[in-house]
Amino acid sequence: MNIIYVLYFSNRYFGEGREDGAPGTEEIEHVGALFTILKYLFAFSVSDYLPCLRALDVDGHKRMLKNATSIVNKYHDPIIEQRIKQWNESTEAEIEDLLDVMISLKDANNKPLLTMHEIKAQITELMLATVDNPSNTVEWALAEMIKQPQILDKGTEELDKVVGKDRLVEESDIPKLNYIKACLREAFRLHPIAPFNVPHVAMRDTVVSNYFIPKGSHVILCREKLGRSPKVWEEPLKFKPERHLMDDGSDVFLTETDLRFITFTAGKRGCPRVVLGTTLSVMLLARLIQGFTWIAPPHRPVELVQSETDPFMAHPLVVVAKPRLPIEVYLD
């Protein structure tokens, strides 16, 4: 989230921050609210199918979402409103982040393309679309790799060969890190961020993969079933990154255009932040593996158990990390 804060607001954190670099109370509250919104975005709600029950809020989702949204707005709105005011009062304002880009967009008549309300909504939606997938995928990938040390060793060897030990992995190294990307693809396949995609509605009668879908039908894809189908995948429940490597050694991408599983969705309504999501995911996993050796703590083995309420790990991953690079590399 520190990276996302910089991209959108040119600041790494909300509030004063902490000297030790750990998240402050403001960051914890903000990220917690984002994950609450995501939880109920994908949750089943009976009122979605029986609109007459919406006013009753029988499952409490409306109340939960309202509270979480108010927390997010508490942090976003003052920054956005102040920045818009600065742009309106200054003729020399410069674009420094995504918020500036949105404010500076003009239509054919040189009028603001987006209203304040639209900018606030876009920033929140971008936050929601960025925070969950990289963190969930990397946690599962690292856990699976620790459970199979030979896979972790292969990832480490690739990083040592491509990057070495005298510097940290950089974005320019990503095209050469095919095994690391294969590990992430496998984590996406086995452990998607949500059990289903967001519902879509068929605009007309159509046929997809020999299925007739009548106009007006709600279409919901099960991410877990897609990624674990024995018709598509050999040993579907096994974490096996090699299945994603090409025989000719060509580049591995995190996107999956054939919908054998879902990463950043596909088609003209696919995720517009594929490059950002890919970069965040690869850089996070690569730096964790390059910078440290990882083992399970004594008497506490890594448990690959999924939560009963969502696809996250039932318990946060707890492992022992030991630095493996020269001290000056970390200081740089």
Structural contact between residues 50 and 5, judged by C-beta atoms closer than 8 angstroms: no
Question: Is residue 60 classed exposed, middle or buried when 0-12, 13-18 and 19+ CB atoms within 10 A define those classes?
Answer: exposed
Average pLDDT over residues 3-15: 87
> What integer pLDDT is reported at residue 65 of this predicted model?
93
The answer on pLDDT for 20 being more than 70 is: yes
- 218-219 and 292-295 beta bridge pairing: unpaired
The answer on pLDDT for 242 being more than 90 is: yes
> What integer pLDDT is reported at residue 270 of this predicted model?
62
User: What pTM does this model have?
Assistant: 0.83
> What integer pLDDT is reported at residue 309 of this predicted model?
74
Confidence of residue 134 (pLDDT cuts 50, 70, 90): confident
Average pLDDT over residues 130-138: 84
271 is in an annotated binding site: yes
Q: Which of 18-27, 111-120, 308-317 has the highest mean pLDDT?
A: 111-120
The answer on pLDDT for 28 being more than 80 is: yes
Helix (H) / strand (E) element for 323: namely strand 320-323
Mean pLDDT of the chain: 89
Confidence of residue 268 (pLDDT cuts 50, 70, 90): low
What are the CA-CA distances from residue 317 to residues 45, 89, 182, 296, 324 (Å)?
A: 30, 49, 21, 9, 20
Q: How far apart are CA 227 and CA 217, in angstroms?
A: 23
The closest of 231, 237, 239, 192 to 209, measured between CA atoms, is 231
Instruction: For 89-137, give the DSSP string.
Output: H-SS----SHHHHHHH-B-TTSSBSS-HHHHHHHHHHHHHHHHHHHHHH
**Which has the higher per-residue pLDDT, 195 or 242?**
242
Strands (E), 233-332: 292-295, 320-323
Average pLDDT over residues 101-120: 93
Q: How far apart are CA 84 and CA 88, in angstroms?
A: 6
The predicted-structure confidence for 167-197, as pLDDT tens digits, reads as follows 999 999 999 999 999 999 999 999 988 778 7
> What integer pLDDT is reported at residue 277 of this predicted model?
77
Confidence of residue 135 (pLDDT cuts 50, 70, 90): confident
The answer on pLDDT for 198 being more than 80 is: no
Confidence of residue 147 (pLDDT cuts 50, 70, 90): very high
Confidence of residue 271 (pLDDT cuts 50, 70, 90): low
